[in-house]
Amino acid sequence: INKETKKSLEYNAVLKVTQEDLSLLENYSCDEVAEVLGVLSVQYVVQDKDCKDVQLTPSTFGVCERCRKMTVDPSHTRDLSQDDLESEPSNLCQRCIRVLDDLKA
């Protein structure tokens, strides 16, 4: 994967695997597999033949201002008041929004 692109964390991966491979991969979350592969996200496509293949597609998400991962869905950005904009970034991923909300509570 690192040979295909300079910034693998900006890509989503589609793994073509056999049913047997999928049964092994299901022991781990997609987030864990993505972390190991160094990509933003992972999806599996089951094939009958034994053909290992990875397809990379660039992410359409933006960079979170808190964790710096490309996980900000443009349709789910937080609407902040002007007062909040001075103290808190507006382009946050859902995970960071939950963390900051928990800290405020």
E-state strands within 10-80: 11-17, 41-46, 53-58
pLDDT in tens, 71-81: 776 665 555 44
Q: Which pLDDT band, with edges at 50, 70 and 90, does 85 fall under?
A: very low
DSSP 8-state secondary structure symbol assigned to residue 72: B
Q: What is the pLDDT of residue 82?
A: 44
Cβ atoms 54, 3 nearer than 8 A: no
Q: Which residues pair with 56 in a beta bridge?
A: 13
Q: What is the pLDDT of residue 29?
A: 92
Q: What gap in Å lies between CA 5 and CA 67, rounded to an integer?
A: 21
SS3 at position 14? strand
Q: Which residues pair with 55 in a beta bridge?
A: 14
For the question of whether the overall pTM of this predicted structure is more than 0.95, the answer is: no
